[in-house]
Structure 1
Amino acid sequence: MVGEESGHVPAREALLDAAMGPGRTKKSSEQIRAGRLPANGLAFSAVRPDGSLVGTVRLWNVTAGTKDGANVPALLLGPLAVSPESQGTGLGGLIMRHAIAEAARLGHAAILLVGDPEYYGRFGFSAAKTGSLSMPGPFEPRRLLALELVEAALDGADGIIAPTGRFVLEAASAMAIAA
């Protein structure tokens, strides 16, 4: 597992298109990610020894609604994708465990995602803390899942999940200023 590099972007986009289908950019979670950068240190690529991409996952800074009048910081995981020839090998699980461990190591309190409870439940994700949360568009409530990395991080969280991470343009401006 390596941190995502700019050279992985075209292969990542092709992998996501193949795995998620042509409608992937219309999903509610994509609305949250649009125009944003992944959370610092939380974009990962699984690569073969020859450098070709076989898996990807990214986590994004969001607020999980509010609690006691304050925003509840969290991460939104996704999308997770593994190349067709690597599916069923355990690579997806390895990527997930790595992403969760890194998020915890970096001090994040909770991770949200939209996905199949049957798959993500084995990593500790459930809908137990997401009943008062919603997405900025259509979503299936049973598929809105959370994992608390800090106990009770999502207790009392209520409202719409919204992006808080840096905009892509902010990063481009910062690089231009540094050059």
Structure 2
Amino acid sequence: MDIAPETPRDSLEVEALFDLSFAPGREALSSYRLREGVAPEADLCLVARDEYALGAAIRYWPVRVGGHSALLLGPVAVHPTRQGEGLGGLVIRESLGRAARAGHARVMLVGDAPYYGRFGFARLDDVRMPPPTNPDRVLGLALRPGAWDGIGGEVTRAI
């Protein structure tokens, strides 16, 4: 499985994977409102593919949390025929490593704590996503020690 930055040629296939992997109306979620009109972090948007097909994809977006920069991880998806092979973990770990090497300090997401906890993500009690987001699902990871210390407030679009 090759992991590489997503290119414009990958875009339609990646969107089809996200459509296949998530419920209809996914673009109505609060995370998507934070992405509108904002370019993704292209160097961190990765695809995993073999010689036959796309197996997984992950994207990142810049956001602001209480005036501080952060990365919003998501969406991440694995093709249903490739689930259980560790591709999700592979693209998450690879992209987090790239984000750290690029100098990013903090990453957040809206997701399942038991799944993302294995990558070091923990609940962000003082960070508020736009409604209707369940606060228990707002998770963060410091890419530098203490990067989330004292950071809280509303999550807003990076403009």
TM-score interval, normalised by the smaller of the two chains = over 0.9
Aligned: 1:3 with 2:10: no
Please, what TM-score do these two structures have when normalized by structure 1? 0.84
Which residue of structure 2 aligns with residue 61 of structure 1? 62
Counterpart among 98, 101, 112 of residue 102 in structure 1: 98
* Matched AA of 1:30: Y
Counterpart among 17, 20, 26 of residue 19 in structure 2: 17
Aligned: 1:163 with 2:157: yes
Alpha-carbon contact 1:72-1:154 (below 8 Å) kept = no
Post-superposition shift, 1:151? 1.3
Q: How many Å separate the matches in 1 of 2:13 and 2:100? A: 27
Q: How many Å separate the matches in 1 of 2:158 and 2:86? A: 32
* Matched AA of 1:151: P
Alpha-carbon contact 2:45-2:59 (below 8 Å) kept = yes
Q: How many Å separate the matches in 1 of 2:130 and 2:113? A: 20
Pairs within 5 Å for 1:4-153: 4-50=6-52, 52-65=53-66, 71-127=67-123, 130-153=124-147
Post-superposition shift, 1:137? 2.1
* Matched AA of 1:114: V
2:75 is paired with a residue of what secondary structure? Answer: coil
Post-superposition shift, 1:144? 0.4
Aligned Cα root-mean-square deviation (Å):
1.1
Q: How many Å separate the matches in 2 of 1:64 and 1:159? A: 6
Q: How many Å separate the matches in 2 of 1:28 and 1:87? A: 26
Aligned length: 157
2:34 is paired with a residue of what secondary structure? Answer: helix
Q: How many Å separate the matches in 2 of 1:46 and 1:158? A: 33
Aligned identity (percent) is 42
Q: How many Å separate the matches in 1 of 2:42 and 2:112? A: 26
Any unmatched runs of 5+ in structure 2? none
Please, what TM-score do these two structures have when normalized by structure 2? 0.94
1:89 is paired with a residue of what secondary structure? Answer: coil
Which residue of structure 2 aligns with residue 172 of structure 1? none
Residue deviations 1:56-78 (CA, integer Å, cap 9, x gap)? 1011111122xxxxx21110000
2:130 is paired with a residue of what secondary structure? Answer: coil
Alpha-carbon contact 1:19-1:83 (below 8 Å) kept = yes
Q: How many Å separate the matches in 2 of 1:47 and 1:5? A: 13
